[in-house]
Amino acid sequence: MRDLPQDLSVERVEEAEGTVSVRFAPDGHVATFRRDWLVEQAGRPEHDGRSERGKRRWQAADLAGCMPVEDWAQYVQEPAVRLRTLELVELLGFAILRRTPAVEGTVLDIAGTLGYVRETNYGRLFDVRAEVNPNNLAYTGLAIAPHTDNPYRDPVPTLQLLHCLSNAVDGGDSGLVDGFAAAALLREEDVEAFGVLARTPVLFAWSDAYAALRAERTIIGLDALGRIREVRLNHRSMETVRLSPRDAADFYTAYRRFSEIVSRAELQLTFRLDPGDCVIFDNVRLLHSRTAFSEGASGGRHLQGCYADMDGLESTVAVLRRMA
């Protein structure tokens, strides 16, 4: 940039068939552009696709009869179906693949169709089932409130996949909440509380014998133009905030207000994953949950999951669009 003259200006513009030539002053340099390229640049969206501007916010009733569900065989065999499915993950925050092989490790194959697996201290994949000595609430049969995963990581995995291998239990239904819709409701109903959560960094942390992870972030993350871009909400991994008494009172009031909105029945999308079902969701937008379950004589509940990232999915979408 320093190589350009400080008084750079456009001296003359000439149009020809399919091109536009621009003469710059003071050095007289001429640059020629294709007209179709200029039109394409003018129409390019002014956002990165991750903020609320590029999403369709929803409540549970909005998806009645129109859940983003696709068949695995068609998804694999038809690029147009795969493109549509991944665009729904971008737009709504999730999609469900049905009739995938109910075989251990399949979730890694699914992740490979949309990007790259993010390996963590949990490994390339992790099992979600009741264990005798669990180190995570996910490994019990207890209910789990809406939350985002791994807010204690920097960077946080932006995609999560959960693949059902068996689900012969009473309970154990899955749930999703559009965190962008919940944050937008908070902004509409209590703009002061929204501002507190968007500007107050909190510490998320998690540790066991093999890992100690920490990240400081706001619960509601905004882009440079003030639009909602991220939600991180996990009561179990948020540390005590270190604020003045007045600021702490404001923060916990706002935090409770947001938690109450997230828990509203109309925001809760509840569904059951059957063997072979795989849900793919945006982990910095959607909050996921689970109802309590108890194992009976007929069997248990076993899901396998892995993490991936939105940039890989977005790259796959761009390539599929180029091929269409």
Q: What is the CATH classification number for the domain harbouring 125?
A: 3.60.130.10
CB contact at 8 A, 239 and 291: no
pLDDT tens readout for residues 1-59: 778 888 889 999 999 888 999 999 898 899 999 998 888 888 766 667 899 998 999 99
Flag whether 151 is in a domain.
yes
The answer on 104 and 195 residing in a single domain is yes
What are residue 118's DSSP bridge partners?
307
Q: Are residues 169 and 285 in the same domain?
A: yes
The verdict on 20 and 82 lying in the same domain is no
Can you give the residue range of the structural domain that contains 17? 9-42
Pairing mode of beta strands 94-98, 69-71: parallel
Q: Is 230 part of a structural domain of the chain?
A: yes
25 and 159 in a single domain? The answer is no
Pair (156, 209) in one structural domain: yes
3 within some domain: no
* Averages of pLDDT over each 10 residues, the chain, 324 residues: 84 91 90 89 74 96 96 98 98 98 98 97 90 53 90 97 92 94 98 98 95 97 96 96 96 98 97 97 97 72 96 97 92
Which pLDDT does position 113 carry in this prediction? 98
Q: Considering its fold, how many domains does the chain have in total? A: 2
Can you give the pLDDT at residue 5?
Answer: 83
Statement to judge: residues 160 and 235 lie in one domain: yes
Confirm whether 107 is domain-assigned. Answer: yes
* In-domain check, residue 265: yes
Where b means 16+ CB within 10 Å and e means fewer, 67-81 reads: ebebebebbeeeeeb
Instruction: Say whether both 167 and 133 belong to one domain.
Output: yes
Q: What is the pLDDT of residue 132?
A: 38
Tell me: do 204 and 282 sit in the same domain: yes
Residues composing the chain: 324
What tokens appear for 135 in the block? 């180190």
Examine residue 288 and state whether it is found in any structural domain, yes or no.
yes
Residues 76 and 119 in one domain: yes
Contact (Cβ atoms closer than 8 angstroms) between residue 246 and residue 138: no
- For residue 157, give both structure tokens: 């995995």
Q: What is the pLDDT of residue 294?
A: 78
Question: Domain check: are 182 and 60 in the same one?
Answer: yes
The predicted structure's pLDDT at residue 293? 79
Instruction: Kindly state whether residue 47 falls inside one of the protein's structural domains.
Output: no
Evaluate whether residue 4 is within a structural domain: no
Q: What is the largest CA-CA distance in the chain?
A: 84
* Interacting residues of 44 by C-beta distance below 8 A, sequence separation 6+: none
Task: Report helix, strand or coil for 132.
Answer: coil
Whether residue 300 sits in one domain with residue 243: yes
pLDDT for 141 equals 66
Same domain, residue pair 14 and 162: no
